[in-house]
Amino acid sequence: MSSLTAFVVLVLLVAAERGVELVVSNRNAAWSLSRGGIETGRGHYPAMVVLHTGFLVAMLVEAFVRRPVVPLALAWSMLAVVLAAQALRWWCILTLGHRWNTRVIVVPGLAPVRSGPYRLLSHPNYVAVVAEGVALPLVHASWVTALAFTLANAVLLTVRLRAENAALATLPPATVGSDA
């Protein structure tokens, strides 16, 4: 199998994983909304969908158009980062349980989760997003996509974090280890 074919397979696997995330997200959003959840930050959500979809397409286009030489050390090290980012993302999803979704929805009265990776970082899922945004395209030396996505994502995350932090500020304080 050529490195380009392997890269296409990897990107398709990540796209399929995103499909699974959306199924989980939609189920969990319905759970939160049925319990009085309040959604904020709707305005940036379409841009986020476009950016993340474009990211998957752009790295494939770049790989096919540029046909870069891919040093094995780069490919394997970036693949390790991609796998670590996926593990962190799913640790976040499993830790938040029904409360995880791709939107900003908080259920009034439920304290923020402070267990799992949330003991260590306020927004660990975004660490996974940033790491994957750099590493996934670099698995096939698609540095233009890595750079463009990183810059666009930094702008989007600024907006997203502002909305998410404001929503979380409306919740009661959490106790360490809380996962209610």
Q: Note down pLDDT in tens along the chain; length 180 residues.
A: 899 999 999 999 999 999 999 999 999 999 999 999 999 999 999 999 999 999 999 999 999 999 999 999 999 999 999 999 999 999 999 999 999 999 999 999 999 999 999 999 999 999 999 999 999 999 999 999 999 999 999 999 999 999 999 999 999 986 544 444
Please give the biggest Cα pair distance in the chain: 54
Which residues are within 8 A (CB) of 110 and not within 5 positions of it... i.e. 6 or more apart?
99, 171, 172, 180
Which residues are within 8 A (CB) of 64 and not within 5 positions of it... i.e. 6 or more apart?
4
Give dist(CA 16, CA 30) in Å, integer: 22
Give dist(CA 20, CA 131) in Å, integer: 20
Written as one letter, the residue type at 40 is: T
pTM: 0.92
Q: What's the pLDDT score for residue 23?
A: 98
Give dist(CA 64, CA 178) in Å, integer: 47
Q: What's the pLDDT score for residue 53?
A: 97
Q: Backbone phi, then psi, for 104, in 5-degree steps? A: -105, 95
Q: Backbone phi, then psi, for 105, in 5-degree steps? A: -130, 125
Structure tokens at 33: 């909304």
CATH number 1.10.3470.10 is the correct assignment for the domain at 3-168? no
- Give residue for tokens 């280890």: 177
Q: Which residues pair with 105 in a beta bridge?
A: 39
**Which 3-state string (H, E, C) describes 18-38?**
HHHHHHHHHHHHHHHHHCCCE
CA 62 to centroid of chain Cα atoms:
21
